[in-house]
């Protein structure tokens, strides 16, 4: 990485890693990852939690916090500079807007990624002693969700007039993903009123639900479970019907890739073209 | 290598239907100082942003022969810019602000200490920028603009935050910069600063409503616009007529008595001479004030047909 971009990456990393939101997330996710599997195992009458309990506990309870961290932090990245009157001086330096954008994105991403690694990774180490490859996969999915949320946050940041507006929109999106189009609630309504196939666009519209489904189909569902309509559920049956059993994961991966790339490219293009 | 530092040719910048700059053309000579005069909203900052390649515009701008739109990075490497409404990072210390910009500009770390000495902020190097006074912040911003020792400096309203000492120090700095062969462009909406530029035999570019309405030596502009100041001296216990004679005898012919005051038209640097001459003649002024002509009036005079 060019030294000039590195200067921006370093500054963004330091600024973000000191943020109270990120520190709070690290602590909360650490205790959730440590405690949840035992709570779930106890509720199911098991002696000790297995990897499945850890994965589903993490994706169901810890993942909803990820947009709550990435969206507010990322939403201040561009508009915050404008609000503090530091953007013009930054743009007037011998560095391209591409490098400024990349530096900011990478710096904030690395900070959130570090928080995820510390919060979720260290907790898993304590529980499992030797972490399994599946858990690294969960952390990888968390990184993908973070990248998608940061891309969306940067888009919000570029189009917002001030930091408060950006924060408001960011929190609205978190509420939208974590509460309004939560599958547990919506699937019930859609299944009752329409064909379960209509649940697929709802999954695609919610990156939080997408990563939950990815971790379920990539890590938990065995071929035996895939053959069982009860373990597939209404959504699983609908996806098997549309994509076939082997097409579900590629579809989910493609949808998630679009969630990472589209907002990021959109915010990038707007930032490059926007006047000071 | 171009003979001019900056060549601005037929530059127009539109925001929707509004023309922030309207067919502006001028050159900036190497090692010269230019005062860009214009009221707030005249288009001065927009012009600087175009020169730095921060805005899209019609026309062309060359910096040392290089197209600012095609080689923006090179241009910004060679121009130190002090934006009018910009600020350092409040959460960073003085030194960390300089280090950050040194990293982006790709200059050696030792330049940070040299710059700290230049801007006289070594003692405050660990202080967060948010805890600095307005003048100190402005010095820090000036330091950032000079970190890479660029050949061209564009300073947008550089003295707006400075106290009297800071302004004096700034005048010294201008002398130093010109002595080192730098090209300097300073924007201001204050005529007082144009007077300062006059001391360096500088040039003036007058912008109003996006148009370049005048250019040339500051001296010529001042003469054409009749930018003399008016000194209003209270007569007090003295005889007004006698005091007026003393004023005229001191060489200030454009003087009159008005509402118990002697009103004298004089050049920016002559006020002290007049007060001293009155004191020698036995009229020690007890009170006086200075009326500066407004820039708007100056524009009207400078741009009216001969």
Domain residue ranges in chain B: 4-224, 229-292
pLDDT band at residue B302 using 50, 70 and 90 as cut-offs: low
Tell whether B66 lies on the interface with A, counting CB pairs under 8 A: no
CA A76 to chain CA centroid, Å, is 17
pLDDT digits (tens, 9 = 90+) for B161-195: 777 777 778 888 888 888 889 999 999 877 667 77
Contacts of A116 (CB under 8 A, 6+ apart): A29, A66, A139, A142, A143, A146
Q: Does B268 touch chain A (CB under 8 A)?
A: no
Do the Cβ atoms of B101 and A93 come within 8 Å?
Answer: yes
Which helix (H) or strand (E) segment is B172 a member of? Answer: helix B164-179
Cα→Cα distances A133→A55, A58, A124, Å = 11, 15, 12
Nearest C-alpha of chain A: how many angstroms from B204? 24
Is B165 in CB contact (< 8 Å) with chain A?
no
Within 8 A of B87 by CB-CB distance, chain A residues are 84-86, 89
pLDDT, tens digit (0-9, with 9 covering 90-100), for B136-152: 898 899 999 999 999 99
In angstroms, the CA B251 to CA B264 distance is 11
From the candidates A5, A82, A92, A273, which should be mutated to test the interface with B, based on the most B CB atoms within 10 A?
Answer: A92
* Lowest-confidence region among B93-107, B207-221, B272-286: B207-221
Cβ(B291)–Cβ(B240) below 8 Å: no
pLDDT in tens, B22-32: 999 999 999 99
Q: Do B72 and A85 make contact, defined as CB atoms within 8 angstroms?
A: no
DSSP string, A170-184: HHHHHHIIIIIT-HH
The answer, yes or no, to whether residue B306 has pLDDT greater than 60, is no
Candidate CATH numbers 3.40.30.10, 1.10.10.60, 3.10.129.10, 3.40.50.300; the one for domain B4-224: 3.40.50.300
Backbone phi, psi, residue A199, to 5° = -75, -20
> Hey, what CATH class is B229-292 in?
alpha beta
User: CA B241 to CA A107: how far, in whole Å?
Assistant: 75
pTM of the model: 0.84
- Residue from B18, B21, B102, B103 whose CB has the most chain A CBs within 10 Å, to mutate: B103
CB contact under 8 A, B56 and A85: no
**Higher-pLDDT residue of B3, A147:** A147
Report yes or no: B104 at the A interface, CB cutoff 8 Å: yes
Q: Regarding predicted confidence, which is higher, A230 or B5?
A: B5
Does the beta carbon of B81 lie under 8 angstroms from any beta carbon of chain A?
A: yes
Q: B15 contacts in A (CB within 8 Å)?
A: 275
Give pLDDT tens digits for A4-47.
Answer: 999 999 999 999 999 888 898 899 888 888 777 677 666 666 65
- pLDDT tens for A45-84 read 665 667 777 787 788 888 988 999 999 999 999 999 999 9
Distance from CA of A272 to the nearest CA of B (A): 10
């Amino acid at each position: 990485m060019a030294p000039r971009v590195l200067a921006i990456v370093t500054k963004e990393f330091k600024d973000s890693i000191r943020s109270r939101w990120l520190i709070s997330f690290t602590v909360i996710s650490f205790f959730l990852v440590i405690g949840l599997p035992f709570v779930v195992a106890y509720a199911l009458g098991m002696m000790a939690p297995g990897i499945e309990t850890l994965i589903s506990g993490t994706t169901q309870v810890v993942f909803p916090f990820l947009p709550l961290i990435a969206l507010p932090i990322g939403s201040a990245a561009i508009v915050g500079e404008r609000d503090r009157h530091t953007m013009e001086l930054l743009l007037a330096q011998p560095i391209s807007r591409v490098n400024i954008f990349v530096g900011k994105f990478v710096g904030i991403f690395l900070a959130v990624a570090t928080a995820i690694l510390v919060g979720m990774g260290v907790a898993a180490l304590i529980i499992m002693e030797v972490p399994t490859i599946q858990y690294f996969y969960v952390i990888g999915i968390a990184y993908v969700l973070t990248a998608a949320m940061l891309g969306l946050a940067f888009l919000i940041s570029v189009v917002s007039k001030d930091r408060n507006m950006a924060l408001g929109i960011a929190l609205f999106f978190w509420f939208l993903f974590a509460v309004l189009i939560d599958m547990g609630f919506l699937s019930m309504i859609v299944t009752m009123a329409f064909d379960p196939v209509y649940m697929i666009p709802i999954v695609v519209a919610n990156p939080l639900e997408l990563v939950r489904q990815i971790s379920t189909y990539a890590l938990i569902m065995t071929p035996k479970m895939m053959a069982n309509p009860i373990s597939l559920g209404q959504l699983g049956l609908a996806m098997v019907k549309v994509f076939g059993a082997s097409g579900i994961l590629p579809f989910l991966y493609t949808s998630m890739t679009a969630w990472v790339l589209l907002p990021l490219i959109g915010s990038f293009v707007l930032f490059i073209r926007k006047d000071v | 290598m171009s003979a001019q530092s900056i060549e601005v040719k037929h530059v127009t910048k539109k925001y929707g239907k509004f023309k922030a700059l309207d067919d502006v053309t001028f050159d900036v000579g190497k090692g010269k100082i230019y005062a860009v005069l214009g009221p707030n909203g005249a288009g001065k900052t927009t012009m600087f942003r175009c020169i730095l390649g921060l805005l899209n515009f019609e026309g062309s701008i060359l910096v040392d022969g290089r197209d600012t739109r095609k080689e923006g990075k090179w241009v910004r490497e060679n121009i130190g810019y002090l934006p009018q409404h910009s600020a350092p990072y409040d959460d960073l210390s003085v030194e960390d602000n300089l280090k950050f910009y040194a990293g982006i500009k790709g200059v050696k770390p030792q330049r940070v200490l040299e710059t700290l000495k230049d801007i006289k902020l070594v003692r405050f190097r660990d202080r967060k920028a948010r805890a600095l006074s307005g003048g100190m912040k402005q010095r820090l911003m000036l330091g950032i603009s000079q970190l890479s020792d660029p050949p061209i400096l564009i300073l947008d309203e550089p003295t707006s935050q400075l106290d009297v000492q800071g302004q004096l120090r700034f005048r010294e700095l201008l002398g130093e910069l010109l002595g080192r062969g730098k090209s300097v462009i300073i924007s201001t909406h204050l005529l007082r600063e144009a007077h300062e530029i006059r001391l360096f035999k500088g040039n003036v570019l007058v912008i109003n409503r996006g148009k370049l309405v005048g250019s040339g030596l500051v001296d010529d502009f001042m003469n054409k616009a009749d930018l003399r100041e008016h000194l209003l001296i209270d007569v007090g216990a003295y005889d007004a007529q006698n005091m007026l004679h003393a004023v005229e005898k001191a060489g200030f012919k454009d003087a009159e008595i008005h509402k118990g005051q002697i009103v004298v038209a004089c050049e920016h640097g002559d006020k002290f001479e007049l007060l001293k001459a009155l004191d020698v003649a036995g009229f020690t002024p007890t009170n006086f004030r200075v009326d500066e002509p407004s820039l708007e009036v100056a524009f009207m005079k400078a741009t009216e047909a001969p």
